[in-house]
Structure 1
Amino acid sequence: MKDSSIYIPACDWDSTASLPQSLPNWQYAKRLVLVNDTAHDRRGEPVEADVDIHAGHITDLGREVRVARLSGENGPIEVVPSQVHLMDREDELLRCRLFFLADVAAGGSATYLLLYGNPEAPEPCYDTELKVSGEGYALEVENEYYCAVLGKMNGNWKNHYSKRGPAELVNRHGHGVEGTIHWGPDWSDERVGRYRLTNWDGPPLFDYDVIKGPVCVRIRRWGHPILSIGPQVGRPHKVMATVTYSFWAGQPYVVMESKLEVLEDVRFRDCRNDEFVIGEHLPERAWMGPEGEIGFGARGWQREDPRWVTHFNRETGEGFGSIHLEFENTNPSWPQPAHAGFSHTGTWVRYPVQHAAMRAGEHVYERNAYLLHRYEEGGEHGGLADLVDHQERLTSPITQGEVAPAPKSINLDNVMDALRSTSKGRLGGSASSVLSISASSRRSSSRAATSASISSCRTRGAKPG
């Protein structure tokens, strides 16, 4: 899982006693300013942040943490749905992933507080429409817009049902051990055939982990794609595949990330990703090209990647599109996909490479949002304004703003916070200055200057690499 672009370091905390709001029982607060530079209001916007917390500041991570929106510097607070998960522990530092839903006005900003340090806090209970059922990786996930079904054997996205119309995106042309609408990623060599993760028939052919909560459900699977005749044939050990699905409360899209990692030198005939087969309910096709132009009908691109592709139905007004958020191929010969586009079978697919020598350490990565959207005959953007609106939002997410530093007292914990923030991150030459601060903190004549300098780690802490 990639690091989040939003990060709150361990040193970035205040005592709740220093805040103007009355927050009984909670001892600590971290402040997060979110900025919306777009012309779109954000309501219930998914936010994902990496947060470091001192282990000594909290007793039970899942039970104690609350996220609250601050109404003005001295105004009241409103607790919002959230969830937090421990990702790693380093000495006495908890490295966490925080999920919550934020409201930020167009062209504006909003401040949120992360509250913790309350051993008597009750279990949080948030009423969102995100629901999950099933066991292990074979889950059904639904919200107000859809119900998504994952395969019982290979865990790929099998079916997708709209709650706003009659469309049923079910696979009728599948390969592998069970048919699925999502086929990739896969790769083929020039000797024995295609290695697919749709050929998985359950662990131990792959590993998985699952994050569940009221805001986000995330399923990650990883393993070696295999030939249809089994894992003992060919060279599956040379490539590792990882696929992650993220389902959010209140959003009509699902975010999918995939990565093919080359573990040993191997020659690809080709590889494929962003490959969907969605049946006949959505017979029309549309796309936004690399320069932002919108077109209709099937087409393909060579060494270019469209911004989005979609299938839709003019009669029902339903559509299902792939919004391309990130694409990365570290093979120097293929910075852009070899080919992307539609086929005649109700499929879209991307071929990142063709006939390429892939070296150990290279990878192919994608992140896309798959959106149930509306089509309106005669409307803006060729009737695809809903899809265009979501593409603009997803490619211009809300960002992290500056937080005014709060002075800290001179003690070993605070000096170590400052050192920890600079030793692993992106503050450039400031690490040496903090080292000198640590030494000067032993001299009483420099205490005031040291306190002000230590607080500087609050402005945008250095993120661990």
Structure 2
Amino acid sequence: MKTYKISICLFIIYIFFPKDLFNQFKYGPIINKEPGKVFVNDIVLNANPDFDPLNVKEVMFKAPTLEHPYYHLIVPVKDFTGGKPVISSVLINGELPDFYFTYVNGQLHVENWLAQKATTIKNIVIVMKYTWHNNQKYKIEIKLRAPKVFDPESEKDYLEETTTHNVISPGKGGAPDNWKYSIMIVLQEEYGLKRIAEPVDLALCIKQSRVKNLKKEVRVMEYNPATQKFNEIPSQTYGFQTYSGRGLKQGRLHEPSYSCRVVFLADVLCCSKKMYAIVYGNPEASVPQYTSDLQIKGSGPGAVIENEYWKVKLHEKSGQIHYYRLKKTDGKNIPDYSNTTSGSVHWNPDTYGENGSWGHTFSWNPPENIYEVARGPLMYKITRSGRMPGNPEVFTSVTYTFFAGSPYILMSSIMEITHPYAASAIRNGEMVFDADIFDHYAWKAKNGERRFLRTLLNPDEGFDAPAMIPIDTPWLCLYNSQGKYAMGAIHLNVYNFNKIDGVSATYRPKFFLYCHPQWGRPLTYFVRTLVYPFGYNFRGPAMYIPAGNVYVEQGAYFPFLLGKKDPFEPIEILNDKLKHPLEIRYGN
């Protein structure tokens, strides 16, 4: 009886309770609701077509919009009678569209089948994602097929219906002339920060049949849906790869392809969307020649990279960052951010093993491998890798990425323990400077508070360490309280794992804020310690590290002037931008 009463109550609640609230329990809070479309968080539960699927009499050509960011054609198909049909072929001028989906009697279908039982199928509409151009002739052929009698042993006796349209596209709204194909990209800013010249680095993968040379045949253009106008902007391609396919003529999954990465600088207003087009397929194109404020002199170790914000020198032997020089100084006499002890301000990754030898990447002379990943007008990316000097059980790599128009430098590093290793120290995230350049630390605690400390010795906390803070502290910096300049580090990702069981070998991980006033040349620095019995007062025993442990960091280094009203506003804003990048939506 009790169960019966509970069931009655639940039924009454379901009938009279607002359905939107039930959806919130199931999917999360509803943030927007419009006729024909419900957004739950960012998921579209019901598609809202840009046409009436019950009233399509002729082929329609559609240009991209923010809601439907792709070129597409809306094509009516003949009624089909006599079987359970599937779509067997969709061609436009003899080639496959990028993608297609189907409406039957106003209902969306994403598979090729159109009905589960034999009947007359009416109101068939196919939406083809395809880059069309102005005033062009197009022949569209769509074939439906159904077996007359269901017989798994026979594929000979079919009903087939072909719909053919010969049409001419409109005189406006089409893709740019000379560029046969396009991929539309929508960038969305959701955090509330205006983005100017924000680097966007995304992947491109296309059929080999559509392009001959990616280095020549790719462009990026701003697109205004209201005016349907394009504006070419500087871009850069790199990381070219080829997949030979498996010999299938139209097998989408296994067609031969070219892929690469595309970089461009985006301008997007806060809390808004903006559309860009990646266009390709122009065999007459030449390699584009763009200019920017990014200047690169030399290559590999010893290279000098600069833009309007800074000048950075890579060490001639190791390729580690040798010094930073601020270029926007407001007339102040600001010294180079340097280290006269080792010659490199970026010291690590580093390790200290049972052989009693420190291994630092600044000791490479030269690195075993030097790879200029990208060298162009918008981005310079260089990776160096090899065995840790003095500690061959550790393989490590360091990658720097420099952008045009950006005040920061991206850095990532990887350490892999390739052979069992007894470690007294495994560290990364280290910047080391002559002690007279900076006089204070500042960092943002994970509760949002800002904290400050003079660069003074405090032996009670750790050996020469005024403070120890969490390894995933959002940002920290060294700054000069008199000169009003700073060196910041923004921590984007820190992840450590073992390739066998996933559990990383770490021991008392912390960020150490160090000073060494007693050294011949006093130094001040910060370093992330992952395994570190060496660094505490008791100097604990070395820790056994099995092979397969991997330590990864990703972050940004940011030399800057302190803000006039809020000294740390520059690093706060950059921290928010880097941790809340533009959302990228591929239209097709």
TM > 0.5 fold call: yes
The counterpart of 1:346, out of the listed 524, 532, 539, is: 524
Q: More deviation in 285-294 or 27-36?
A: 285-294
Shift of 1:305: 2.9
Structure 2 equivalent of residue 70 of structure 1: 223
Q: Quick check: 1:364 aligned with 2:551?
A: yes
Change (3 A) 1:78 1:243: same
State the Cα deviation string for residues 148-190 of structure 1 (Å, max 9, x = none): 1001111111111110124333433433xxx111000011112
Distance 1:265 1:172 in 2: 33
* Distance in 2 (alpha carbons) for counterparts of 1:384 and 1:320: 11
Inter-CA distance 302–102: structure 2 relative to 1 (3 Å threshold) = closer
Distance 1:320 1:304 in 2: 18
Secondary structure at the aligned position of 2:577 is classed as: helix
2:524 counterpart of 1:329: no
Aligned to 1:43, the other structure's residue is in SS state strand
d(CA) in 2 for partners of 1:170 and 1:84? 32
Identify if the C-alpha distance between structure 1 residues 282 and 21 changes in structure 2 by more than 3 Å, giving closer, same or farther.
farther
Letter in 2 for 1:284: H
Mapped to 1, the partners of 2:508 and 2:584 lie a distance apart of 31
> Which residue does 2:374 correspond to in 1?
211
Judged with a 3 Å threshold, the aligned counterparts in structure 2 of structure 1 residues 333 and 89 are, in CA distance, closer, same or farther, namely: closer
TM-score by length of 2: 0.61
Report what 1:164 is aligned to: 328
The structural deviation recorded for 1:44 is 0.9
TM-score normalised by length of structure 1: 0.77
8 A Cα contact 1:197 1:224, kept in partner: no
Aligned to 1:282: 438
Distance apart, 1:199 and its partner CA = 1.8
Mapping for residues 213-252 of structure 1, pairs under 5 Å: 213-227=376-390, 235-236=391-392, 238-252=393-407
Q: Which secondary structure does the structure 1 equivalent of 2:531 belong to?
A: strand
Change (3 A) 1:11 1:138: farther
Name 2:184's counterpart in structure 1. 31
Q: Which amino acid aligns with 1:129?
A: D
2:285 partner SS: coil
Which of the residues 367, 375, 380 maps onto 2:562? 375
Asked if 1 retains the 8 angstrom alpha-carbon contact of 2:504 and 2:549, the reply is: no
Find the counterpart in structure 2 of residue 301 from structure 1. Answer: 468
The 3-state SS of whatever aligns with 2:209 is helix
One-letter code aligned to 2:303: L
For residues 105-136 of structure 1, the C-alpha deviation after alignment (integer angstroms, 9 at most, x for no partner) is: 21111111101111112331222101101134
Mapped partners of 2:586, 2:400: distance in 1 = 31
Q: Secondary structure at the match of 1:391?
A: helix
2 CA distance for matches of 1:14 and 1:74?
Answer: 20
Asked if the contact 1:328/1:335 (under 8 Å) is kept, the reply is no
8 Å Cα contact 1:225/1:241 also seen in 2: yes
Larger displacement relative to structure 2 (329-338 or 153-162): 329-338
Residues 183-230 of structure 1 show CA distances to partners (whole Å, capped at 9, x for unaligned) of 000111123322222221125x33333411111100111101112xxx
Residue deviations 1:36-80 (CA, integer Å, cap 9, x gap): 111101111100101112222112212221001111255211111
Q: Given the superposition, is the C-alpha separation of residues 52 and 118 from structure 1 closer, same or farther in structure 2, using an over 3 Å criterion?
A: same
> Deviations for 1:78-116, whole angstroms, at most 9, x for unmatched residues?
111110114321112112111111112211111111011
- Using the alignment, how far apart are the partners of 1:151 and 1:253 within structure 2? 19
Q: Secondary structure at the match of 1:201?
A: coil
Query: CA separation of 1:152/1:250 partners in 2, compared to 1, >3 Å: closer, same or farther?
Result: same
CA distance in 2, matches of 1:385, 1:306: 17
Q: Distance in 1 between matches of 2:323 and 2:283?
A: 43
Bigger Rg, structure 1 or 2:
2
Shift of 1:292: 2.0
Match of 2:56 in 1: none
User: How much does 1:240 deviate?
Assistant: 0.9
Q: Structure 1, unaligned stretches of length 5 or more?
A: 1-7, 228-234, 404-457, 459-465
If asked which structure has higher relative contact order (CA below 8 Å, sep 6+), I would say 1
Deviation at 1:316, TM superposition (A): 3.0
User: RMSD value over aligned CA atoms?
Assistant: 2.4
Q: Does 1:125 align with 2:303?
A: no
Give 3-state SS (helix, strand or coil) of 1:56's partner.
helix
Distance 1:131 1:267, change over 3 A: same
SS at match of 2:388: coil
State the distance in 2 between where 1:302 and 1:282 align: 19
Query: Which AA in structure 2 matches 1:385?
Result: E
User: Could you list the per-position Cα deviations for residues 239-287 of structure 1 after superposition, in whole angstroms to 9, with x for gaps in the alignment?
Assistant: 1101000000111100000010122222221111111113333332211
How far did residue 28 of structure 1 move?
A: 0.7
Contact 2:292 2:378 in 1 (8 A): yes
Identity %: 27
Moved >4 Å (runs of 4+): 10-13, 333-337
Q: Secondary structure at the match of 2:336?
A: strand
Distance 1:281 1:14, change over 3 A: farther
Give the partner amino acid of 1:401: R
Give the C-alpha shift of residue 395 in structure 1: 0.8
Deviates more, 1:285-294 or 1:241-250: 285-294
1:311 aligned partner: 478
- Please report how far the alpha carbon of residue 301 of structure 1 lies from its aligned counterpart in structure 2 after TM superposition: 2.9
Secondary structure at the aligned position of 2:574 is classed as helix
- For residues 329 and 268 of structure 1, the distance between their equivalents in structure 2, rounded to whole angstroms, comes to 15
Residue 253 of structure 2 is matched in structure 1 by none
| Worse overlay, 338-347 or 353-362 | 353-362
- Of the three residues 3, 12, 15, the one matched with 2:131 is 15
Secondary structure in structure 1 of the residue aligned to 2:298: strand
Which deviates the most, 299-308 or 339-348? 299-308
The Cα offsets for residues 419-449 of structure 1, whole Å up to 9 and x where unpaired, read as xxxxxxxxxxxxxxxxxxxxxxxxxxxxxxx
Q: Give matches, 1:32-51, under 5 Å.
A: 32-51=185-204
- Residue type matched to 1:290 in 2? K
Q: Give the residue type in structure 2 aligned to 1:226.
A: P
Question: Mean Cα displacement is larger for which, 246-255 or 329-338?
Answer: 329-338
